[in-house]
Amino acid sequence: METHQFSFMIPSTADAVSDARKRISEKLRRWGLPPESDELGSIELATSELITNAVKHTGQEPVLVDVHLSDGLVRIDVCDASRELPQLSLPDAVDENGRGLLIVTALAARYGVELTPTGKRCWAEFEVAPEALMTRMQPLVPLPAENHRQSTELQRDRRTSSPRGPR
Of the pLDDT bands very low, low, confident and very high (cuts 50, 70, 90), residue 103 is confident
Q: Does residue 166 belong to any structural domain of this protein?
A: no
Q: Does residue 149 belong to any structural domain of this protein?
A: no
Q: Of residues 97 and 86, which shows the higher confidence score?
A: 86
Q: Does residue 158 belong to any structural domain of this protein?
A: no
Q: Does residue 15 belong to any structural domain of this protein?
A: yes
State what percent of residues in the chain have pLDDT above 70: 70
Each residue of 130-147: pLDDT tens digit? 766 765 444 455 555 444
Q: Does residue 146 belong to any structural domain of this protein?
A: no
Of the pLDDT bands very low, low, confident and very high (cuts 50, 70, 90), residue 105 is confident
pTM: 0.74
Q: What is the mean pLDDT of residues 105-131?
A: 92
- Picking from 85, 78, 86, the residue whose alpha carbon sits closest to that of residue 62 is 78
Please provide the size of the chain in residues: 167
Provide the residue type at 149 as one letter. R
Positive or negative torsion for Cα 60, 79, 98, 48: positive
User: Which residues, in sequence order, are bridge partners of residue 126?
Assistant: 74
Q: Does residue 120 belong to any structural domain of this protein?
A: yes
Number of domains in the chain: 1
Which DSSP string do the residues of 62-91 spell out, in sequence order?
-EEEEEEEETTEEEEEEEES--PPP-----
3-state secondary structure of 41: helix
Q: Of residues 43 and 161, which shows the higher confidence score?
A: 43
Q: Does residue 82 belong to any structural domain of this protein?
A: yes
CATH number of the domain that residue 19 is part of: 3.30.565.10
3-state secondary structure of 112: strand
- Return the biggest CA–CA distance within the chain: 52
Which domain does 64 fall in, by range?
3-134
Q: Does residue 49 belong to any structural domain of this protein?
A: yes
pLDDT of residue 151 exceeding 50: no
